[in-house]
Amino acid sequence: MPVQFAAKRLGKELSKIQNGLPPGIELVSADDLEEWLLDIRVLDNNPLYLNETYRLKFRFSQSYPIEPPEVVFVKQADRPIPVHPHIYSNGIICLDLLGQQGWSPVQSVESVCMSLQSMLTGNTKNERPAGDEDFVRANKLRPKDIEFYYHDNSV
């Protein structure tokens, strides 16, 4: 049943996405109901992200939307990882929205993309999170298993 539920919900979301997305968000691929790729751009003239496009990878569990999807930035030749105090250089995002506690089943792929977009838009610090190098080197966990400490309420 949960399998069907996730599939039905994702089917609905996909058909809605194919009907149109907010500006700056584009669907790259959604070949199955497990992993989707989307591109996002920052729309205003924030010099940190000007003229850059970033690629997001969504992975859905069978418990979606009760459980949050796993969302990371992926690095490609023309798709860098955005510099942000809450985004590690391996693409892992520290955002309570994507954690078990902050997630709500009323969120969707579209709303997550918009949240990330606004998170980048509002950022002025050209820096990585503290301990970025150590974390990137040492981390073997999947993003959802990492216990983040959400301390920054300004995002």
Partner 1 sequence: MSSEMPPPNTPEEGVAATNLSSRAEARRIIGSGVPSTIYDSPASSAGGSRRSSLADFDPYQIPLRAHTQHQTEPTIDFQALDYAQQVDEALLCPICHTPFYLPMTTKTCGHTFCASCLDRALETQHVCPIDRRPLDIARDITQTQTRVILDQLDRLKAKCPNTGCDHVCSRELLRSHVERYCEYTQVPCPDPQCDETIYRKDARPENGCLHQVTLCPYCETALTFNDLERHYDQECTGQEAECPYCDTIVVRHRLPKHIATDCQEVETHCKFQSAGCKQFARRKNIQEHQKDGCVYEAIAKLMQAREEDQRIITELKGRLDALDGRTRHLERYGGGNRESREPSAFTRAAPPTQGLTAHALNNLNQMHQATTAYPDVAEANENIMLDELFETFDQGNIHHYESSYGSPQVAPVMMPPDAPPVPWAQPNGGGQWESAEDYMLAQFEAMEAKIEDLRKMMVELDGRHTMRLVNDTMRMNEQIAELGSKVGVLGMHTTWLMSMQRQSRGQQTAAGGSTPGNARSNISGTGGGGGGGSGNGGSAGNNDESRGRTNTAAAGGSGSSRTATQQGNRNGGDGDGARGRYLNTSEVPPVRRSSVARGENPPRL
What is the torsion angle, in degrees rounded to the nearest 10, for the CA atoms of residue 149, residue 151, residue 152 and residue 155? 50
Of the pair 38, 87, the CB lying nearest partner 1 is at: 38
* Least distance in angstroms from the C-beta of 19 to partner 1: 11
- Identify the CA nearest to 152 among candidates 134, 127, 144: 127
Rounded Cα–Cα distance for residues 58 and 131 (Å): 25
Kindly name the residue from 10, 72, 94, 120 that is annotated as catalytic.
Answer: 94
* Least distance in angstroms from the C-beta of 106 to partner 1: 4
Of the pair 9, 41, the CB lying nearest partner 1 is at: 9
DSSP letters of 24-54? TEEEEE--SSSEEEEEEE--S--TTTTT-EE
Residues forming the site for partner 1 (CB under 8 A): 4-5, 8-9, 12-13, 16, 65-67, 100-101, 104-106, 108
Helix axis angle for 2-18 and 109-121, nearest 10°, is 60
* Least distance in angstroms from the C-beta of 145 to partner 1: 16
Rounded Cα–Cα distance for residues 17 and 37 (Å): 12
Of the pair 15, 124, the CB lying nearest partner 1 is at: 15
CB distance 137 to 92 below 8 Å: no
* Least distance in angstroms from the C-beta of 17 to partner 1: 12
Task: Answer yes or no: 113 catalytic.
Answer: no
Of the pair 9, 59, the CB lying nearest partner 1 is at: 9
Hey, which residues are catalytic here?
94
